[in-house]
């Protein structure tokens, strides 16, 4: 008997009443950049399902006949869903009603990559009544696909089988942050580590993931000139971006991190699509004994900012016009003196870049976040550092800044009195 293939994975694409016909006529599933991180994981041969969000119907089983690609059919859905996969139908297409409750019960969300066990469990709901499970699964994986979908009547899954929550067998891809407060309880996400969570000063991987998905496209080039344990490199590899990462002292065993001083980056001008820097914040961490380590200089001295400005100027040189630099930095309080490291670095960044956003990153996993230190901070009237800044800066086009007179902003004012009156009338 033939075995099921090595890679068994499935994905659920969503559609609405207005986009469903196009999916089935073109035999093409698509999504927007918002869900691009899920789409780029689809490979030829994966099982696919189509969920109509309006009717709550789930259609299956489909198979990807191509790896995902940008704009296989650029005019499909008026260009709104460029992350696309070509599909074929495996036999007649079964329709499952009340699909959202089925998926919720199985723990499948709009961001789930469903592994082998999960896929086989999900497939059970699509099995013809007269076929034993194993036989059907094996025939399904060998089946020649149809270029058109013949849709069968609806099934009610409640009568077909018991649902179990898929826990180990689902990998969630992260979600884009929507506000300017990005809080990441864990250093990494997903099934593979990103960077080394034991590395002093390691960056939350999801922070880099957010920059990558907001400001780059697949295959773009990302550079991290002070990459420490390589978090940026690992995130970019999974997200289909090229990455070049340097450090003054690459960790042992990471041949993919190049040794280089960030004050002189060996790349051409205007050649990079995104730069991420999580620089030292002063001399509070002993990264290594390298003489050129900027983390040996106190952030209470002007030299620290002068040296970082050399890195900033290099970043400006290699970045393409209109592209983004993300710089993560925190303030310092030591021996009764506060140093606004963030503001000082921001002032230097503003000499070269326009500001896109300033994001607040709560500090998690700090050595000082213990009862002992919390108590000291209260008793001795000082504060422990609670957050860092992520400065999101854009390389401006020469002479392209809008003047205040050119900017017309029309606010919609929320009339509190009117709202309060309406509420009163309703009650």
Distance CA 228, CA 34 (A): 29
**Strand pairing category for 221-224 and 258-259:** unpaired
CB of 67: closest distance to ligand SAM in angstroms? Answer: 29
Residue 293 near ligand SAM by CB under 6 A:
yes
Distance of closest approach, residue 162 Cβ to ligand SAM, in angstroms: 43
Q: Which helix (H) or strand (E) holds 18?
A: helix 17-26
* Number of chain positions touching ligand SAM (CB under 6 A): 27
Q: Which residue has the CB atom at the shortest distance from ligand SAM?
A: 228
261 contributes a contact to ligand SAM by CB under 6 A: yes
Smaller CB distance to ligand SAM: residue 166 or 245?
245
Is the CB of 163 or the CB of 227 nearer to ligand SAM?
227
Q: List, in order, residues 6 or more apart from 68 with CB less than 8 Å away.
A: 39, 40, 41, 42, 43, 83, 84, 85
Query: How far is it, in rounded angstroms, from Cα 112 to Cα 115?
Result: 9
* Peptide linkage before 92 cis (omega within 30 of 0): no
Segment interacting with ligand SAM, rule: CB under 6 A, options 2-10, 99-107, 124-132, 244-252: 244-252
Q: Which of 47, 229, 332, 339 binds ligand SAM (CB under 6 A)?
A: 229
Place of tokens 């896929």: 119
Instruction: Identify the bridge partners of residue 355 per DSSP, sorted by sequence position.
Output: 393
Q: Per rule CB under 6 A, is residue 248 in the interface with ligand SAM?
A: yes
Tokens of 286: 């002993």
The two structure tokens encoding residue 12: 């659920």
How many CA atoms are closer than 13 Å to the CA of 404, on its beta-carbon side?
A: 0
Nearer to ligand SAM, 149 or 208 (CB): 208
The DSSP line for 21-56 is HHHHHHTEEEE-GGGHHHHTT--TT-EEEEEETTTT
* Region 176-215 residues binding ligand SAM, contact defined as CB under 6 A: 195, 199, 201-203
User: How do the residues of the chain divide into helix, strand and coil, expressed in percent and rounded to 5?
Assistant: 30, 25, 45
10 versus 279: smaller Cβ distance to ligand SAM: 279
Provide the minimum distance between the beta carbon of 156 and ligand SAM in the complex, in angstroms, as a whole number: 49
**Please, which residues have CB within 8 angstroms of residue 63's CB and are 6 or more apart in sequence?**
45, 46, 47, 48, 87, 88, 89, 90, 145
According to DSSP, the residues that pair with 326 across neighbouring strands are 276, 392
Among 55, 65, 249, 284, binds ligand SAM (CB under 6 A): 249
Between 108 and 248, name the residue whose CB sits nearer to ligand SAM: 248
Q: 136 vs 287, which CB is nearer to ligand SAM?
A: 287
231 lies in the site for ligand SAM, by CB under 6 A: yes
Using CB under 6 A as the binding rule, whether residue 342 contacts ligand SAM is answered as no
Cβ at position 373, least distance to ligand SAM in Å: 21
Q: Is 4 in the site for ligand SAM (CB under 6 A)?
A: no
End-to-end CA distance of the chain: 69
Could you say which of 169, 267, 288, 317 contacts ligand SAM (CB under 6 A)? 288
Judge contact between 386 and 363, C-beta under 8 A: yes
Instruction: State the minimum distance, in angstroms, from the CB of residue 390 to ligand SAM.
Output: 12
Give yes or no for residue 226 binding ligand SAM (CB under 6 A).
yes
Residue 227 is a binding residue for ligand SAM (CB under 6 A): yes
* Residue closer to ligand SAM (CB basis): 36 or 225: 225
Question: What does the angle CA 72 – CA 77 – CA 83 come to, to the nearest 5 degrees?
Answer: 40
> Hey, is 334 helix, strand or coil?
strand
Which range, of 124-132, 150-158, 215-223, 285-293, touches ligand SAM by CB under 6 A?
Answer: 285-293
262 binds ligand SAM (CB under 6 A): yes
- If one asks whether residue 278 binds ligand SAM (CB under 6 A), the answer comes out as yes
Please, which residue, 166 or 315, has the CB nearer to ligand SAM?
315
Closer Cβ to ligand SAM, 46 or 278, answer by number: 278
| Interface contacts to ligand SAM, rule CB under 6 A | 195, 199, 201-203, 225-229, 231, 246-249, 261-263, 278-280, 287-288, 292-295
């Amino acid at each position: 008997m033939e075995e099921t293939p090595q890679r068994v994975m499935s994905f659920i694409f969503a559609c609405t009443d207005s986009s469903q016909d196009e999916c089935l006529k073109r035999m093409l599933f698509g999504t927007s950049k918002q869900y691009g991180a899920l789409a780029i994981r689809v490979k030829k041969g994966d099982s696919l399902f189509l969920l109509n969000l309006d009717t709550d119907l789930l259609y299956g089983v489909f198979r990807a006949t191509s790896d995902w690609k940008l704009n296989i059919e650029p005019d499909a859905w008026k260009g709104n869903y460029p992350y696309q996969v070509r599909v074929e139908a495996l036999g007649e297409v079964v329709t499952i009603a009340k699909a959202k409750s089925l998926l919720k019960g199985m723990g499948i969300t709009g961001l789930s990559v469903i592994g082998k066990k999960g896929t086989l469990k999900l497939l059970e709901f699509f099995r013809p009544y007269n076929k034993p499970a194993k036989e059907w699964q094996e025939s399904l994986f060998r089946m020649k696909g149809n270029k058109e979908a013949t849709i069968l009547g609806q099934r009610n899954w409640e009568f077909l089988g018991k649902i179990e929550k898929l826990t180990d067998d689902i990998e969630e891809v992260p979600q884009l942050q929507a506000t300017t407060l990005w809080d990441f309880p864990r250093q990494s996400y997903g099934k593979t580590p990103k960077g080394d969570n034991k590395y002093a000063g390691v960056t939350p991987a999801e922070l880099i993931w957010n920059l990558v998905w907001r400001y780059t496209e697949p295959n773009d080039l990302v550079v991290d000139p002070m990459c420490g344990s390589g978090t940026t490199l690992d995130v970019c590899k999974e997200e289909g971006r090229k990455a070049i990462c340097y450090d003054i002292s690459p960790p042992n065993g990471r041949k993919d991190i190049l040794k280089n001083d960030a004050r002189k980056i060996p790349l051409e001008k205007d050649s990079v699509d995104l730069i991420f820097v999580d620089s030292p914040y002063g001399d509070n961490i002993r990264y290594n004994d390298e003489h050129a380590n900027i983390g040996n200089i106190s952030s209470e001295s002007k030299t620290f900012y002068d040296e970082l400005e050399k890195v900033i100027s290099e970043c400006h040189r290699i970045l393409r016009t209109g592209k983004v630099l993300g710089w993560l930095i925190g303030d310092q309080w030591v021996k009764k003196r506060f140093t606004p490291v963030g503001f000082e670095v921001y002032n230097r960044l503003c000499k070269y870049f326009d500001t896109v956003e300033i994001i607040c990153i709560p500090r998690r996993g700090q050595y000082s976040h213990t009862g002992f230190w919390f108590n000291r901070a209260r008793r001795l009237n000082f504060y422990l550092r609670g957050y860092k800044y992520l400065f999101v800066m854009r390389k401006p086009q020469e002479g392209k800044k809008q003047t205040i007179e050119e900017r017309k902003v029309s606010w919609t004012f929320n009339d509190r009195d009117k709202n309060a009156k309406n509420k009163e009338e309703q009650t």
